[in-house]
Amino acid sequence: MKHLLFSLSILALVFAGCDKDDDTTVTPTPTTSSIFTSSNIKTKPVYFSFAAKDSVASTANWDIKLTTVFAPDDSLKQFPSPGIVLNSALNVTGTYVDVKFENVDPAAVTGLTKDAVDSLVTDSTRSVKSMPVYYSFDKRDTTTADGNWDVKLTVNAAMEPLVVLNKAKGVTGKTLDATPFATFNPSQVTLESDVNDTTLVIGNKCFLYAGPPTHKLNPVANRTFVVRTINGARVKFQTLSYYNAAGASGSFKFQYAAPERYSIGSFVLKYAGPPTHKLNPYTDRTFVVKTSAGNFAKFKMLTYYNEANASGYMKFEYAVK
Any idea what DSSP says for residue 3?
H
Give residue 116's pLDDT. 85
pLDDT, one tens digit per residue, over 231-263 is 888 999 999 999 999 999 999 999 999 878 899
Percent above pLDDT 70 for the chain = 88
Question: Mean pLDDT across the stretch 135-153?
Answer: 94
Give residue 117's pLDDT. 80
Query: End-to-end distance of the chain based on CA atoms, in angstroms?
Result: 57
Question: Mean pLDDT across the stretch 65-90?
Answer: 85
In this predicted structure, the answer to whether residue 108 has a pLDDT above a threshold of 80 is yes
Give residue 76's pLDDT. 64
In this predicted structure, the answer to whether residue 197 has a pLDDT above a threshold of 90 is no
When pLDDT is cut at 50, 70 and 90, the band that residue 2 belongs to is very low
Q: How far is CA 272 from CA 142, 219, 281, 284, 314, in A?
A: 37, 49, 10, 16, 17
Question: Mean pLDDT across the stretch 176-204?
Answer: 94
Instruction: Return the CA Rg of the chain.
Output: 27
Mean confidence (pLDDT) of the chain: 89
Any idea what DSSP says for residue 112?
-
pLDDT, one tens digit per residue, over 9-48 is 433 333 334 443 433 333 444 569 999 999 999 999 999 9
Range with the lowest mean pLDDT among 113-122, 243-252, 295-304?
A: 113-122
Return the domain boundaries, the chain. Answer: 34-116+262-320, 120-257
Give the C-alpha separation, 307 to 321, whole Å.
Answer: 30
More confident residue, 271 or 138: 271
